Amino acid sequence: MSSIFMVYTMSSIASVFFITAGMFLTMSILGYVTRLDLTKLGSLLFMALIGLLIASVVNIFLGSEMLYWIVSYAGVIIFTGLAAFDTQKIKQMFIQYGSADEMGNKIALFGALTLYLDFINLFLFLLRILGDRR
């Protein structure tokens, strides 16, 4: 993560961080309060994530600028949706298992790691799109 400070300007890192925080907060609140079941969406997003990883590896060898931008925009869409899905999934796990025992602690750790990864990946993809390089 420290290499982004060498590649991007400090002002673009700060502005993209606040944009990411706003998007993540909005989608987490949406995932928490919505009555819609996001399970099917989560399955589709996970399959799209696997496709994104494959496209990223292929683009390492191809070096296509068009594929780079497609992967970047797709990454933003996928991780924005995953933020809402993961928030709803964590809420359902807490309702089912409770938070009083050891299982609640494990759910909290798993949920924190999942949401952290969603946030970091969303931030990195937005930085690829909106960041000003040095």
DSSP 35-98: -S--HHHHHHHHHHHHHHHHHHHHHHHH--HHHHHHHHHHHHHHHHHHHHHHHHHHHHHHHHH-
**Could you tell me what percent of the chain has a pLDDT over 70?**
99
Write the pLDDT tens digit of every residue in 9-67: 999 999 999 999 999 999 999 999 999 999 999 999 999 999 999 999 999 999 999 99
- Centre a 10 Å sphere on the Cβ of residue 116 and count the other Cβ atoms it contains: 10
Domain containing 83 equals 4-130
CB 49 within 8 A of CB 71: no
pLDDT number for residue 130? 94
State yes or no: pLDDT of 119 exceeds 70: yes
Domain count for the chain: 1
pTM of this structure: 0.90
**Could you tell me what percent of the chain has a pLDDT over 90?**
78
State yes or no: pLDDT of 99 exceeds 70: no
pLDDT number for residue 134? 74
Summarize the confidence of residues 85-94 as an average pLDDT.
92
Q: Which two tokens stand for residue 134?
A: 């040095």
pLDDT number for residue 106? 84
Place of tokens 């909106």: 130
